[in-house]
Amino acid sequence: MEFQNDAGSILLRKKVLRIVGIVVTLLVLWIVQPFTYENIDAGNVGIKINLYGTDRGVDNITIVTGRVWYNTWTTKIIEFPTFTQSVDYEPFVVTTRDAAEFQVDPKLNYHINPAMVPQIYRQYRKTLAEIEQQFMRNTIYDAYRIVANSFTSDSVMSNREKFEDRIQILLTKNLGKDGFIYDQLTSAISPPASLRQMIDEKNASIQARLKAENEAKQAIAEATVSKAKAEGEAAALLVRARAEAEANRLKQQSLTPLLVQQQVIQKWDGKLPQYGTVPQFFKNVAQ
pLDDT digits (tens, 9 = 90+) for 49-78: 877 765 555 556 667 778 888 777 878 888
**Mean pLDDT value of segment 160-178:** 93
pTM: 0.58
> Comparing 258 with 83, which gets the higher pLDDT?
83
188-223 pLDDT, tens digit each: 888 877 666 666 666 667 777 777 778 778 877 777
> Whose CA is closest to 186, among 88, 85, 96?
88
The per-residue pLDDT of the chain, averaged, comes to: 78
Q: What CA–CA distance (Å, rounded) separates 277 from 284?
A: 11
DSSP structural state of residue 108: E
Q: What is the pLDDT of residue 206?
A: 75
Q: What CA–CA distance (Å, rounded) separates 219 from 203?
A: 24
In the predicted model, is pLDDT for residue 24 greater than 70? Answer: yes
Helix residue ranges per DSSP H, the chain: 2-32, 117-124, 128-131, 137-148, 153-158, 160-176, 193-254, 257-267, 278-286
**Mean pLDDT value of segment 164-168:** 93
71-105 pLDDT, tens digit each: 778 788 888 898 999 999 999 999 999 888 899 99
What is the residue type of 79?
Answer: E
What domains can you pick out in the chain, each with its CATH number? 10-81 (no CATH), 86-197 (3.30.479.30), 257-286 (no CATH)
Q: What CA–CA distance (Å, rounded) separates 145 from 273?
A: 117
Q: What is the pLDDT of residue 274?
A: 57
Q: Are strands 44-50 and 57-64 parallel, antiparallel or unpaired?
A: antiparallel
